[in-house]
Copies of this chain bind each other. A is one copy, B any other.
Amino acid sequence: MFITTVTPRFGDMDFLGHINNTVPAVWFELARNPLWRIFVPDFSRSHQYWPLIMAHTDYDFIEQLYFNDDVEIRSWITCIGVKSFTVHQEARQKGRLCVKGNAVIVHYDFKNKQSTPLPEDKKKLLAEHMKPK
A residues with a Cβ closer than 8 A to B are: 7, 9-11, 13-18, 20-23, 25-26, 29-30, 32-33, 36, 43-46, 50, 53-61, 64, 66-68, 110
If A22-B25, A26-B9, A45-B66 touch, does A15 touch B50 (CB 8 Å cutoff)? yes
Quick one: copies of this chain in the complex?
4
CA distance A9 to B11 in the complex (A): 13
**Neighbouring B residues of A13 by C-beta, 8 Å:** 14-15, 45
Q: How far is the CA of A44 from the CA of B22 in the complex (A)?
A: 21
Q: In the complex, which residue of chain B has the Cβ closest to the Cβ of A22?
A: B25
Bound complex: CA A54 to CA B25 (Å): 14
Q: Which of A15, A17, A20, A33 has the most CB of B within 10 A?
A: A15
